Structure 1
Amino acid sequence: MEANVFNKEHVFLNINANTKEEVLKFISKSAKELGITNDCEGVYNGLVERESQFTTNLGEFIAIPHTKNDAVINPAVLVLKFNEDVNWNEGEEKIKLAINLLMPGQSEGNTHLKLLSALSRKLIHEDFKDALLNSNDVEEVTALINEALGL
């Protein structure tokens, strides 16, 4: 797996967002700023399309929005923590943290599934989840996600 998939520049703390749409727009804009895409709208549409198929809200205050589409140039994981709990979908628990996966549409194999699987395995552990939800330290969040991804 590519070492540049995740680093501390991919951690965003104290984000102001109230809705899922605002979060997905923030992800798209950040992806462009980080050189992950040249097509903000394509990334945003990919994230929205994925959400329309099935919610990425895992419950327990965490969502994993993701997309695999041609607008993504470089695979990446972004982590966002919010100042206020975000309304994800009507009738669902609000979220405090989003772990975002962006994969190129033509990427070989099932890298996104491997990343999702690795994250999911770690997120069943309360101590890991609590550490992520409670940390406001970029270095600590980076270390936790690197550990989860096996980077």
Structure 2
Amino acid sequence: MTTTIEQDDIDDLIPESHISLDEPPSEKDDCIEYLLDLIVSSGRVTDRDTALKALFARERETTTGVGMGIGIPHAKTGAVTCPSVAFARSTDGVDFGAMDDEPAQLLFMILVPETGAEDHLEILSSLSRALMHEEVRNSLSTAKTSADVQGVLKEALA
């Protein structure tokens, strides 16, 4: 049975402070740090180095470039207090090693507590399903404000 993320949960999962419409770094590792710092700035990460190590370890396991211009670095770590998602977008894209060899322009980071395996899978699968739709990707690419991004995600994920 698959569940969806409730609309009310999206404000908590990806608050506007976790959404950046500024150009992120063009190198993957720097981009991962950039996304992590969006979550760190909200006080949800208790140990940045531990969270970063978990993200880099996950990247070494297998690519988080899912194709269609999407990168979703993600990790479970005891260094985050609650499930959290960050978003940024890149004009030229960042090489996340996707199977289709396309750079990732829509960048999401998912961090969940170590004990949050179910949350981790639910967020990852819900996000992946939503991003399969071209209109969702286009809306995220053209959103003018972080509130617009949040609105697109509320509609797409719920």
TM over 0.5: yes
Say which of 105, 109, 126 aligns to 2:114: 105
Classify the secondary structure of the residue corresponding to 1:89. coil
Give, as a single letter, the amino acid of the residue that structure 1 aligns with 2:89. K
- Are the counterparts in 2 of residues 31 and 40 from structure 1 also a CA contact under 8 Å? no
CA–CA distance in 1 between the matches of 2:42 and 2:78? 16
Q: 1:88 to 1:133 in 2, by over 3 A?
A: same
- Are the counterparts in 2 of residues 69 and 104 from structure 1 also a CA contact under 8 Å? yes
State how many pairs are aligned.
149
- Are the counterparts in 1 of residues 45 and 81 from structure 2 also a CA contact under 8 Å? yes
Classify the secondary structure of the residue corresponding to 1:15. coil
Match of 1:123 in 2: 131
Match of 1:60 in 2: 68
Off by >6 Å, runs of 4+ in structure 1: none
Classify the secondary structure of the residue corresponding to 2:66. strand
Which residues of 2 match residues 2-151 of structure 1 at below 5 A? 3=9, 4-89=12-97, 92-107=101-116, 110-150=118-158
Deviation at 1:90, TM superposition (A): 9.0
TM (norm. structure 1) is: 0.87
CA–CA distance in 2 between the matches of 1:7 and 1:110? 21
RMSD value over aligned CA atoms?
Answer: 2.0
Decide which structure has greater strand share: 1
- Are the counterparts in 1 of residues 24 and 88 from structure 2 also a CA contact under 8 Å? no
Q: 1:16 to 1:129 in 2, by over 3 A?
A: closer
CA–CA distance in 1 between the matches of 2:105 and 2:144? 12
Unaligned runs of 5+ in 1: none
CA–CA distance in 2 between the matches of 1:80 and 1:16? 7
Unaligned runs of 5+ in 2: none
Give, as a single letter, the amino acid of the residue that structure 2 aligns with 1:20. K
Classify the secondary structure of the residue corresponding to 1:120. helix
Identity of aligned residues (%): 27
Give, as a single letter, the amino acid of the residue that structure 2 aligns with 1:29. D
TM (norm. structure 2) is: 0.84
